[in-house]
Structure 1
Amino acid sequence: MSAPTLFDSFRLGDMTLPNRIVMAPLTRNRAGAGFVPSPLAPEYYAQRADAGLLITEASQISQQGQGYQDTPGIYTDAQVEGWKAVTDAVHARGGHIVIQLWHVGRVSHTSLQPNGGAPVAPSAITAATKTFVNNAFADTSEPRALERSEIPGILEDYRRAAANAIKAGFDGVEIHGANGYLIDQFLKDGSNKRTDDYGGSIENRARFLLEVVDTIVAEIGANRTGLRLSPVSPANGISDSNPQALFNHVAEQLEKRHLLFVHVVEGATGGPRDVAPDFSFDALRQRFTGPWIVNNGYDLELAQSAIGAGKADLVAFGKPFIANPDLVERLRRNAPLNEPDRDTFYGGGAKGYTDYPTLADAAA
């Protein structure tokens, strides 16, 4: 048999994807009052429904889980209704869509937190990064360490968010375990200095991630639960002293859980792919044999190579999808891509969101 290509179909859980192109989660900061998805969001996602799979922008599981202004949630009835309009629009176009569930942990600001409180984290270590509040980038606020007694409540927030996602019509969820947010903060020893059973050893630091996974799987099923990881990305000031051993263990534990997919950021999120040249992503792929999505800096040639060599089942594209609603067709034709307007990435209205031209527009 010939090697698979980027444009071949793929069976993912109960879905048959028309191609192996995934739209990666992209924060756009356009939610309205009550952190309900923008009225433009159904059009934005439906425009991109030719992708084999859409992964939404990260959506907080609670007010405590929010780290940036105007990001949507999935914890109120109004938010569920807002997302229902999105899933209906995508499904009407024959697309498939999952929502990314998010708790930012320490990557937040007191102005976003309940009663102006401190953000929470595994340990009281401030993130060396900025967040986006009051229409500007600001230093993150000093966090407080979570009490062990608070962790079950956060797991319940994840469970409720997953249940709400299905109520909103999503085909599944992606747990955000990457990019220096709460789950990644528990995983990595640069941010986790706990001395209880959530800190210290690799097994202990992986405990919170696996509890989140198990909680969501128990609610909606493994065949609707995916996970995103970024083993070596320094995003949001995160680090680990031995990421290979840590993520080998994580992959082995995930293998037992038969998840819908694992989605891996290779290298630095949105940056160089070679920040940790000694790290073996192949070692993870060997340990988790389920559907494998790769991401970060992929173009057509690199994506085709990864699919053809069996290094990935699906390839996620991020920024190219912002400016190219018809990215699948452009890749299929090897056509030029629109350049994104970076001034409209975060916040605003239709400009730089739903108004990018397609090949069909150009031909008209």
Structure 2
Amino acid sequence: MSIPEIILAFFSILMLLPTLASLTKYDKWWIRGFDFPRIQISFLILLIISLSLVYYTFRDAWHSILVILLIGSFIYQAVKIFPYTIFAKKQVHKSKGSDPKGMISLLISNVLATNKRSDKLIAHVQTYKPDLLLTLESDQRWENELSVLEDEYIYKVKIPKDNFYGMHLYSKLKLEHIEIKYLISDEIPSIHGYLWLRNGVRVRFHCLHPKPPSPSEDDTSTNRDAELLLVGRELNAEKESVLVFGDLNDVAWSRTTKLFQKLSGLLDPRIGRGFYNTFHADYSLLRWPLDHVFHTIDFTLIKLKCLKSINSDHFPVFIKLNYDPGKKSFQERPEKANGDEKEWANEKIEDGNPQETDI
């Protein structure tokens, strides 16, 4: 074996590991971590395949075996991310919004607690004028600095925390029946309640920021998965309008997020439009979508955009939706979870030892 063959064989085997890990249901952080960089993994696999075609003679059977395995691995990764490309069918229809009273706009921003540039977020708010502003990781200092918005955003839910899981919701739209819940951990709050659109339609909403699987946060993805799946299981998307938004610390194409959609029946406006990567703002080659907005079938999309950096590790996201129940017959709901998927979801929720199951 030549040195190029040895090097290529090593990296070929290395690039097969993410796919093998993704095929398992183990929830250790280092295994579930492979769910995130599927875009980067796909490009690296293509690079290894290209180099293999240059340096392999294919006289030895293992040359062909490794290349075939790499092609299979690339196909697996590509299938996972394909729905979030412009080549896939859009899950949510585009709308110009004929009735201003039926529109709702949201700006979601993980501000990074140590970030001092609140002025950049405030500038975005002044430019895009969202109906709702949700901040994650916001502490008392952030609350104080965002107080300049309170004359315009008269409805507020404030949960300042110093543990990177503070949460603040500012709304121009009327809020009611607001509940702050700690679904899985007494360190991780979430906001639940109803808002009223200007046309008199009441919408159920849930603001989430579960803990990510990582060596510094949580050894497994169990708690994150349990929170997302619990909310997805308990939603009633067929009887009321629903919005779920926040930093979910999970990518759109993961098993958990896809199952959340199946359980909840909510739509993802990114499908067919792009990745809308929000993290990590500082590393252009290491980005994936962690901040999400899901909604019921009675909303269509007017605008979706990742905004310029506010010096956080997340880019803010702005979305504008139109309440349009007439589009229900034109938009397809996600397929429903089957028996095995529901059983797995129930097991994950139980493993998370939820403190509250009524959302």
Pick the TM interval, shorter chain: 0.3 to 0.5
Q: Choose between structure 1 and 2 for higher RCO, CA contacts under 8 A separated by at least 6 residues.
A: 2
Greater Cα radius of gyration, structure 1 or 2 = 2
The normalised TM-score by structure 2 is 0.36
Query: Counting strand residues as a fraction of each chain, which structure ranks higher?
Result: 2
What TM-score, normalized to structure 1? 0.36
